[in-house]
Structure 1
Amino acid sequence: MAAILVTVFWLALAVLFYAYAGFTLLVMAWARLQRRRVLQAPITPRLSLIIPVWNEEKTIAGRLDNALALDYPKSALEIIVASDGSDDGTEAMVARYVGQGVRLLALPRRGKLHAIREAVACATGELLVFSDANSMYQTEALRKLARNFADPQVGGVCGNQIYLKAGRHADTTNQGEHLYWSFDKWLKQQESLTGSIVSAHGAIYAIRRTLYRHPASAAVTDDFAISTAVIEQGYRLVFEREAVAYEEPAPAAAREFSRKVRIMTRGLRGVLLRRKLLNPLRHGFYAVTLFSHKVVRRLVPVFLLLLFGASLALATHHDFYAAAAMGQALFYALAGLGYGLRQRRSGRLKLFYIPFFYCLANAAALVALAKVLRGDRIERWQPQRQIATSDVQIT
């Protein structure tokens, strides 16, 4: 029995090492070997900026003001707001901008992907740019996205999402989220050099109109499904660091947990939808990055439980395993303290918020995995905003 537990311990440790260090080192090494650059040129093709919304009366005015102020030829830009059955003042707010080159699609409540499909159907742009309702673009963001499409091998471009500092709104979850996105941005730069990044995020990304393929399922994350369709058709999906979109930080932990569960559940279903991309014989290194990023990382909580369980069971057999069990117990205790401090709003030390955010994310991944295995489907969306776009400052 002890031999089995030892095997479980080292297997779990090996998987965790690969998920957090091995995969990163592998991407770095492959990026150095490939160094696949993008041919860029200052082009300004016609763009359709698509903003799907649901009950965004607090954010949509700021978003549209920002979109209309972007440095891009007005004759080459159309802005489409697709309202997915909003029942607050969103549609009335958007209607005020119609005379300024904004189009409003007032649709019945059928989900975000349906709203996107309707917007794409009436879009006239050569390029489709997708944005969240609370994303605030830097002035030259559209030009920075567009210049990459001078390369005929590029089918999609993901911009650089940056979380704004939220001041008094921030909590331990925000701090951990910021650290994660800083690492994710760096990893995207490396992945882009290997050929393609894994997928885009909804704040700011663009694809060629001819490459848009509507997802066969509504129970997936739209940004993942739409952007990976580009790769499935043989084109590159690259990262543009200088195309910046600012967003508010994540909501408080209670709402953030449910948000992560929803996103991860839909994300796993997205991988099932695009499972052909997991074939390394056809998609090469991208298949490895997709599997590592979207599958192995979602299995991390399972291996964390196996590692902790094996450590506890072996603690009486050897001091090494006893120390391993104590180290893990201490880490989870710090996460618990981080949660308690967040509840009292009495501290945001990295010593506490990193373990707390890590445990929050992995607990959400475990629940998401269970939901997918159970066959649960999440097809509708409900954005959770913490502050209005008019309350934030872009610097």
Structure 2
Amino acid sequence: MSVLAFWISLGSLFFVYAGFAMLVIIVGAVLNREVRKESITPSVSMIIAAYNEESSIAEKLDSVLELDYPKDRLEIIVASDGSDDGTEAIVSMYADCGVRLLSLPRRGKIHALNDAVAEAKGDILVFSDANSIYDKKAVRELVSNFADPKVGGVGGNTIYTTDINGDTCGHGENLYWNYDKWLKEMESRTGSIISAHGAIYAIRRELYQPQIDSAVTDDFAISTSIIEQGYRLVFEKEARAYEVAIPAANREFWRKVRMMTRGLRGVLLRKALLNPFRYGFYSLILFTHKFLRRLVSVMLLFLFVSSITLISDGLFYRVCAISQSIFYVLAGIGFLLKDRRIGHLRVLYIPFFYCLANSAALVALINIIRGHQIERWQPQRHSPGSAKV
């Protein structure tokens, strides 16, 4: 029984981290679904949902007003979801610059977005976080993909930074996102990426479907609805947005728990997309990203326990057991030293972040099994003042 558990766990982990990527590369090379891009300037409505963003909203709006996009083709809407700090007063100061403020009651981000879209006039909707700073050409790069009539949505490239010089932060977080972005580039060639990141993505106005489930992540729900309607959701590497990573491990852990719990509920919302007879290879992408990845913590547990029980059955099992033990010890040391300079050594922060992320995934799984929902939107922010542009 231990042997079976060991090899099933090891095989599953290999597929999640290597086999799936290899399969995506092969399918992408065979299908090679390129996007027909052109330099176009459709009317754009940028929607920024905000809740108590007084520390970041001014710099956000300053950066938006400096975007390289025709001013008469760009509408800027800030949807304040019941902010009770100085956010709305700050946004009001930009009224003469064409920035529209929607002062809404506190109902959750998804409802704020629904209300903002109802007011939007642009042919293309660009959704952005209040703490993300766009590269000046980001909107141009996004909308160039809409020259292809098969493209219904475009996800941008979120880059995490720590200070004004653009030094990479949240080391493990960046490693994960760099891998994820590479995978999205490959997925885009197969047809569609898994979903868009909330900091920067765009969709055609006529494809927006009002969302009602506030217990799912808005970016996943909105972007995957594009695929459900038969259009492509592609990745644009050159459309860059910069965000400051969250350095505090405890805050990052609970942020991931919230994100993964809501993401798993999103899969339940979009369960029709798991039908490969209708959605083809995308169904496997969705299943692997949003389900198998969340089971990695369970796979790791079975692998470790089975390795220990098989330690006397051969050199290979002993090496596996010892290697895993060393990895988890390093993760523990990384946790203890996370606030010190030595904790930034790769040999410590990679195991630590890996264990943190998968522990959060396990808690998210338990939340889903228990039926626990996370509906309220509580941004974990740093001022964008340190983001590189």
Q: TM-score, normalised by structure 1?
A: 0.96
* One-letter amino acid of the counterpart of residue 112, structure 1: K
Match of 1:152 in 2: 149
In the alignment, is the contact (CA less than 8 A) between 1:251 and 1:384 conserved in 2? no
Query: Which residue, 81, 86, 91 being the options, matches 1:89?
Result: 86
Please report how far the alpha carbon of residue 170 of structure 1 lies from its aligned counterpart in structure 2 after TM superposition. 8.6
Query: Is it true that 1:180 corresponds to 2:165 in the alignment?
Result: no
C-alpha distance in structure 2 between counterparts of 1:111 and 1:266, whole Å:
13
Matched residue SS, 1:71: coil
C-alpha distance in structure 2 between counterparts of 1:38 and 1:344, whole Å:
45
C-alpha distance in structure 2 between counterparts of 1:392 and 1:331, whole Å:
32
C-alpha distance in structure 2 between counterparts of 1:124 and 1:322, whole Å:
64
Query: Is it true that 1:206 corresponds to 2:202 in the alignment?
Result: yes
Matched residue SS, 1:315: coil
Match of 2:222 in 1: 226
Q: TM-score, normalised by structure 2?
A: 0.97
C-alpha distance in structure 2 between counterparts of 1:25 and 1:373, whole Å:
31
1:115-140 deviation per Cα after TM superposition (whole angstroms, max 9, x unaligned): 11110111111111000001111111
Matched residue SS, 2:378: coil
Match of 2:110 in 1: 113
* One-letter amino acid of the counterpart of residue 389, structure 1: P
Matched residue SS, 1:118: helix
Q: What does residue range 9-48 of structure 1 map to in structure 2 within 5 Å?
A: 9-48=6-45
Query: Which residue, 368, 375, 385 being the options, matches 1:390?
Result: 385
Q: What does residue range 167-316 of structure 1 map to in structure 2 within 5 Å?
A: 174-316=170-312
In the alignment, is the contact (CA less than 8 A) between 1:170 and 1:249 conserved in 2? no
Please report how far the alpha carbon of residue 381 of structure 1 lies from its aligned counterpart in structure 2 after TM superposition. 1.1
- Long gaps (5+) in structure 1: none
Matched residue SS, 1:264: helix
In the alignment, is the contact (CA less than 8 A) between 2:157 and 2:200 conserved in 1? yes
C-alpha distance in structure 2 between counterparts of 1:275 and 1:175, whole Å:
33
1:256-292 deviation per Cα after TM superposition (whole angstroms, max 9, x unaligned): 0000000000000001100000000000000011111
1:65-117 deviation per Cα after TM superposition (whole angstroms, max 9, x unaligned): 00111111111111000011111110100000011110001111111101111
C-alpha distance in structure 1 between counterparts of 2:167 and 2:158, whole Å:
18
In the alignment, is the contact (CA less than 8 A) between 2:58 and 2:91 conserved in 1? yes
Match of 1:350 in 2: 346
C-alpha distance in structure 1 between counterparts of 2:166 and 2:229, whole Å:
42
In the alignment, is the contact (CA less than 8 A) between 2:82 and 2:105 conserved in 1? yes
C-alpha distance in structure 1 between counterparts of 2:107 and 2:47, whole Å:
17
Query: Is it true that 1:80 corresponds to 2:94 in the alignment?
Result: no
Matched residue SS, 1:347: helix
Please report how far the alpha carbon of residue 293 of structure 1 lies from its aligned counterpart in structure 2 after TM superposition. 1.0
C-alpha distance in structure 2 between counterparts of 1:74 and 1:287, whole Å:
40
Match of 1:333 in 2: 329
- Long gaps (5+) in structure 2: none
Matched residue SS, 2:170: helix
C-alpha distance in structure 2 between counterparts of 1:293 and 1:145, whole Å:
24
Residue-pair matches, total: 389
Residues 247-256 or 338-347, more deviating: 338-347
Please report how far the alpha carbon of residue 215 of structure 1 lies from its aligned counterpart in structure 2 after TM superposition. 2.6
Please report how far the alpha carbon of residue 318 of structure 1 lies from its aligned counterpart in structure 2 after TM superposition. 3.1
Residues 308-317 or 11-20, more deviating: 308-317
C-alpha distance in structure 2 between counterparts of 1:137 and 1:144, whole Å:
11
In the alignment, is the contact (CA less than 8 A) between 2:133 and 2:387 conserved in 1? no
Query: Which residue, 308, 314, 317 being the options, matches 2:313?
Result: 317
* One-letter amino acid of the counterpart of residue 72, structure 2: S
Identity of aligned residues (%): 60
Please report how far the alpha carbon of residue 303 of structure 1 lies from its aligned counterpart in structure 2 after TM superposition. 0.6
Distance 1:168 1:40, change over 3 A: closer
